[in-house]
């Protein structure tokens, strides 16, 4: 089941929120910065034990001061024009985050719009990828509730149209 929300993912009170991190997993700007700020320093301390994260892969930590129990850190691709496997890597980031949520027996998970900020992935294409991967995964496990949380209007309107 997919839901759409406009707002700040750090306020999500479900089982896990997905962080659009970078390969170091040592924090950054955008949603990564907001999540680390809300979770507190213990999140960074745990991230330091993970040895980074490959683009397209996903790793899980506790949520600490966040209302969500866990944070699933994934690294989306930087957009280089679309000829460097960016679509495949973004699909992998969504798929691996969902697999990790399923294998951790989570019931509810929230995604930001991975790679569409600092990494400059075109929002319309990223929205198509996010929704089609979640739909395809739902064939496997219908009981995971996925919420897309859009912080900016452009993404929100794109998802509204695609999910209508």
**Strand, coil or helix: 101:** helix
Which of the residues 32, 105, 143, 152 is marked catalytic? 32
Binders of ligand APR in range 24-63 (CB under 6 A):
28-34
Q: How far is the CB of 23 from ligand APR (least distance, A)?
A: 8
- # residues contacting ligand APR (CB under 6 A): 26
Cα 127 to chain centroid, rounded: 12
Interacting positions 93-152 with ligand APR (CB under 6 A): 112-119, 149, 151-152
Q: 3-state class of 2 per DSSP? A: strand
- Cα end-to-end span (Å), the chain: 13
153 is catalytic: no
Interstrand relation of 2-6 and 58-62 (parallel, antiparallel or unpaired): unpaired
Site for ligand APR in 69-98 (CB under 6 A): 76
Please check whether residue 109 is in contact with residue 14, taking contact to mean a CB–CB distance below 8 angstroms. yes
Q: Catalytic residue numbers?
A: 32
Binding region for ligand APR (CB under 6 A) = 8-10, 20-22, 28-34, 76, 112-119, 149, 151-152, 155
């Amino acid at each position: 089941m997919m839901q759409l929300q406009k707002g700040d993912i750090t306020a999500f009170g479900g089982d896990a929120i997905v962080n659009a991190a970078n390969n170091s997993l040592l924090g950054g700007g955008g949603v990564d910065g907001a999540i680390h700020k809300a979770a507190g320093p213990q999140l960074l301390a745990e991230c330091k034990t993970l040895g980074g994260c490959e683009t397209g892969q996903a790793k899980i930590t506790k949520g600490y001061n966040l209302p969500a129990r866990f944070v699933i850190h994934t690294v989306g691709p930087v957009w280089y024009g679309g000829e460097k496997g960016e679509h495949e890597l973004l699909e992998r980031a969504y798929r691996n985050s969902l697999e990790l949520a399923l294998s951790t027996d989570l019931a509810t998970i929230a995604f930001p719009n991975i790679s569409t900020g600092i990494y400059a992935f075109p929002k319309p294409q990223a929205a198509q990828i996010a929704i089609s991967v979640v739909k395809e995964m739902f064939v496997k496990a219908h009981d995971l509730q996925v919420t897309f949380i859009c912080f900016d209007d452009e993404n929100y309107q794109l998802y509204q149209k695609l999910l209508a």
